[in-house]
């Protein structure tokens, strides 16, 4: 749980950095940025500012994401593992799942044949 929570915090830090960059370029982001996340426990932890005894081992600076959620700068939305498209970049997938995610990303399959072509 802690590793996934830290991953969400890192994503939140990157979002804040990108928002500052866009702001410096004159493009304000005035809507919450959505992070699609497949861990319901971590979504509840990040959304609930009440201290949890079972999570006291998580370092305080990782609760940065809570502040951003309360400030309505970031929103964590649950997406089931079956629809977590980012898995195409992080995991070895079976053929069916690979094709499904590839289609969701809009990547086309191209048959290449090197035989007879130069």
Q: Are residues 118 and 94 in the same domain?
A: yes
Q: Are residues 51 and 36 in the same domain?
A: yes
Q: Are residues 22 and 74 in the same domain?
A: yes
| Mean pLDDT score across all residues of the chain | 82
pLDDT of residue 117: 59
Domain that holds residue 41: 2-79
Q: Which residue has the higher pLDDT, 47 or 55?
A: 47
Q: What is the pLDDT of residues 86-118, one digit of tens each?
A: 888 888 988 998 889 999 899 888 877 777 655
Q: Are residues 70 and 108 in the same domain?
A: no
The mean per-residue pLDDT over the stretch 58-78 comes to 82
pLDDT of residue 91: 84
Q: What is the pLDDT of residues 24-49, one digit of tens each?
A: 999 988 889 998 888 888 888 787 75
CB proximity list for 8: less than 8 A, separation 6 or greater = 35, 37, 42, 46, 65, 76
How many structural domains comprise the chain? 2
Q: Are residues 61 and 8 in the same domain?
A: yes
Give the Cα separation of 85 and 3 in Å (integer): 19
């Amino acid at each position: 749980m802690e590793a996934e929570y830290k991953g969400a915090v890192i994503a939140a830090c990157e979002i804040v950095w990108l928002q500052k960059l866009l702001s410096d370029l004159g493009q304000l982001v005035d809507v919450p940025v959505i992070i699609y996340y497949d861990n319901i426990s971590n979504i509840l932890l990040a959304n609930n500012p009440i201290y949890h005894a079972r999570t006291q081992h998580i370092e305080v600076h990782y609760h940065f994401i809570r502040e951003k959620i309360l400030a309505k700068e970031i929103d964590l939305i649950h997406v089931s593992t079956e629809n977590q498209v980012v898995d195409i970049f992080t995991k070895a997938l079976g053929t069916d799942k690979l094709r499904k995610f590839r289609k969701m990303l809009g990547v086309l399959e191209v048959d290449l044949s090197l035989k007879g072509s130069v």
